Amino acid sequence: MTKPLPKGPGKPPGADVKVYSATRERLIRLQGAGESPVGPGKRAIRFVAVLALAFAILAAPLILFYPTLFAKYDHLVAIVGSILYWPQAWPGVYAVSVGTLVVPDYIFPMYLAFMAAFVIASGLLFNRPRYSGRRRLLALSVILVYVGCELILDSLFFTTPGATLRNFALLVRVLTGGLFMAFLTFCSFHLPKPQRITPRFPRDRGAVGMFFGIGVGAVVLSAIVLIIVLLLLKVESIITGFTILLLLPVMAIPVFCALARPIYFRRVRRRGLPPLSKYHPSVSILIPAYNEAEWIQSSILSADRAAADYPGPVQIVVGNDGSTDNTLELARDAIRQCRHAKGYVVDLPHGGKSNALNGALALATGEIVIRLDGDTAIANPPGFKEMVRHFADPEVGGVQGAIHPRQRSGWTRKLRCLEVAWLHYMLRPANMATRSAEVLDGLFSAFRRQDLVDLGGWVPWNGEDSEISIRIQRLGYRIRIEFGALALEDVPEDYDALRRQRVRWSRGIIMANGQHYLSLLGPTPEFGGLGVMFWFLLVIRSGVRSLVYVFLLLLILFLGVPGIIYTLILLGIATAIRAVPIGYFLVKMRRPDVLIWIPFFPIGNIIKQTFRFESFGTLGPGAEREYV
């Protein structure tokens, strides 16, 4: 069934005045200003190219002339150590004849080279694009404080004899370098203003203890295993530091998942879910669409077929985001074909996905809102019904369904299968158990309509799915994932399309988390804040991950470090650590054809890291708030 949209400012049936008015005001502003989302262009590519080139140019002399360049630094370490230990003698070891520390360390110069390269690539050094003096001073302060911290750490730990303390110092150096690198990147970002949200639920202090308890336990267990591996392989000297840099977080995250994931499913079972015969609230399926002529009818009709298997009333609302193809006509035709759900198509000027979502939300009447992308189809069976049952629990504010690639051929689709098996099936339940999950994928997720209305709908910038997920959690709600509901997503078929998608996703996640850091500093960090912290830890861990391999290559090239075999062994271990759970979940996903692609999982991560670097280059002054 198709109903015409109401004319004028009146309120459509079932629409909330607040959301509808906000949507209309934004549409008027869009029409008047001619605003339209754009895609990542030459600026993003240029940023990565300059970053990589500057890093290589700066890192090379630091490696070649390490003894000479850092001789003065070593003297500073001795001076700082003497001050810190006064009136006692400084116990550090310093080789005056050589002018370097007894144990060479290349992690510190690597981070220095990366920080300097980032300042150059981002424009913080040359003030292009134009940054305020305060921003440039903040970036300089981060680098100087980092150097000061390294001087103190070196004087306290790194020059003291003993392999155990030396390895501990390397670990500390890795963590501090990643931390300050993350701080430096944020100096160049122009993010939305942080939000203040009042929780609806009482505190859950146990979640904070669980998160840190499991996290510390995972790091300790991983460190023990890593030390054993190093002893067996007899890995020493330079490679030791990079072993810690690369492998410890890679090992700690699977251990974290293994400890936390069972807790999630045990909690869900204990809370219990009522049968659909007793709980089947009305449902509205919102489908934002921009130039989705290829898939829009499939998406709408798949939702209608899934509605046939749901005992409650179902409504489908399509938000056409000013498509320039025949998406609008195809959507209206598909709505007319629906047999099990009532439907509407709202035609809007092009203003971005959030604009289409809010326009559709203004017409929604269902108690539960399911968001489905215009290129995504609900698989029936199993449909969406199992997602809805979770909302019988008043503590649950959002639910994500399982998402699988709809295409089976192509390297991008294979890598996406690996990503889904790891991130969705393995990591996300563990995050939800410890209240450290940050996102319900917008491709296929559900919320209470009234919560969305009270929060004002989706924000007008990239990462609207991450942002609304964090905002829902800041109210105090828990979020869940339901593998008994399934949607099939359209995955980009080539590198360029994948790049555009992932740059958009990366910048959106940065924008969402960057404006919700107050949740971590507020009185209820377990409500969204732990998710922001977990994401920030991943940023620290992955900040130089791709460039670490470049630095290792330079070490081998200039110093002839006999560590190439060890490096390959470490990469093999890193892949094997995640191969078992990824393989298991690929079988559960009925995608055994992807098993042979598991060795390419690290390569996929490096490609994604490159896209993340590109997103850094899109968040400076003058950057668009939303990319398509």
439-461, pLDDT tens digit by residue?
999 999 999 999 999 999 998 88
Torsion of Cα atoms, 323 then 324 then 330 then 331, to 10°: 10
| 267-277 confidence digits (pLDDT tens) | 999 998 999 99
Examine the pLDDT at 604 and tell me if it is beyond 90. no
Among 75-84, 346-355, 362-371, 421-430, the range scoring the smallest mean pLDDT is 75-84
The full set of domains in the chain, from first to last, is 10-37+279-392 (3.90.550.10), 42-187 (no CATH)
The amino acid that residue 206 corresponds to is G
Examine the pLDDT at 1 and tell me if it is beyond 50. no
**Residues near 325 by beta carbon (within 8 Å), at least 6 away in sequence:** 291, 293
Contact 122, 613 (CB under 8 A): no
Contact 124, 188 (CB under 8 A): yes
Cα separation of 60 and 468, whole Å?
Answer: 44
| 288-307 confidence digits (pLDDT tens) | 999 999 999 999 999 999 99
| Structure token digits, residue 623 | 């950057």
Q: DSSP secondary-structure letter at 308?
A: H
The amino acid that residue 309 corresponds to is D
Contact 376, 307 (CB under 8 A): no
Cα separation of 146 and 609, whole Å?
Answer: 23
What pLDDT score does 216 carry? 93
The amino acid that residue 338 corresponds to is C
C-alpha distance from residue 281 to each of 365, 366, 435, 449 (Å): 11, 8, 26, 11
Q: Which of 423, 314, 425 is nearest to 370 (CA)?
A: 314
